[in-house]
Structure 1
Amino acid sequence: MTRYPFSLEDFHRLAEAGILPEDARVELVEGEIVTMSPIGKKHAYVLNTLVDLLSPLRGRAVLSVQNPLVLGPATEVYPDLALLRPPRTRYRDRLPEGGDVLLLVEVAETSLDYDLNVKTPLYAKAGVPEVWVVDLV
């Protein structure tokens, strides 16, 4: 089987051209486009609870929910929640990167193995200082 690696620029072009629909649940992981698990009721409830709990930090951190995070030239993921270095305006013209993250949270209902063994090492490599994985099982 032949694989064709994608760069971050390729990934964005695919989305801009409509090849990847705007609502597609995909990430770019080390040059490969990977389908993300659907969000279930329990996942959504826990994520909303985390947002409520962490929202008092607004002003001291930028609360980013399921938004893109660049981890390298061929990796863009969508963590469930990230607390980013302020001010918010620093992300007006660029996407946040690993070094911008203060805390990152993944909520895992069916994705625990993937979150722990694929994504967490990518976060560490990109300089994310703190990662929490909430195991819903």
Structure 2
Amino acid sequence: MSANPTPFRWSVEAYERVVALGGFAPEQRIELIDGELVEIMPQKPRHSSTIELVEEACRAIAPEGYRVRVQLPLKFTTSVPEPDVAVVQGQLRSFVNSHPATAVLVVEVSDTTLEYDQVVKAPIYAAAGIEDYWIININERTVEVRRQPGPSGYRSLQTYTETDTVAPLFTTVPISVAELLP
């Protein structure tokens, strides 16, 4: 036994059991990120508005058989993140018994969490095989698009400004970056 204490690593199964038993207060916003519990920060108005703009843009272009989910869990091997917006394949009742294990697009909105979304969340989404990961950088008024996931992260990163358009991989319909920004 080590003289130094080691942090407790949560499994996805243990986390889900605690959630099912009501182990977290309703006002607590917690994600499981790489085996650790992480408290989600409260949202500022610009952050909330941007989430709604992204949701609206995604719903407008999502074909039949795709769902736009807002701040709802995805279930990976060691993480249960709740991205700001995720587009998943499935019907309304497809995820009654289990959270989706993948998404065709994941979007995080960043004002104060940019580094966290780039350094911590990006590798988790890449390891889970998320082909299209976007970070809406409110402060710089840009969209960072990460693609080509691999075991060490994303191999492709492109930054779009508010004069650009970008099409998610699940459709050819482009979205104006300006539409996504507050």
The verdict on a shared fold, with TM-score over 0.5 as the criterion, is: yes
Once the two structures are superposed, the pairs formed by residues 44-55 of structure 1 within 5 Å of their partners are 44-55=48-59
Q: TM-score, normalised by structure 1?
A: 0.89
Once the two structures are superposed, the pairs formed by residues 1-137 of structure 1 within 5 Å of their partners are 1-56=5-60, 57=62, 59-72=64-77, 74-98=78-102, 101-137=103-139
Q: Deviations over 1:29-81 (max 9, x none)?
A: 11110111211100001111111112122524211100001121x21000000
* Sequence identity (%): 28
Q: Which runs of 4+ in 1 moved over 3 A?
A: none
Question: Structure 2 CA distance, aligned partners of 1:115 and 1:49?
Answer: 19
Structure in which a larger fraction of residues adopt helix = 1
Cα pair 1:37 1:110 within 8 Å, conserved: no
Q: Which runs of 5+ in 1 are unaligned?
A: none
Cα pair 1:15 1:22 within 8 Å, conserved: no
RMSD after superposition: 1.5
Q: Which runs of 5+ in 2 are unaligned?
A: 140-182
Instruction: Report the structure number with the largest CA radius of gyration.
Output: 2
Using CA pairs under 8 Å that are at least 6 residues apart, name the structure with larger relative contact order, 1 or 2.
1
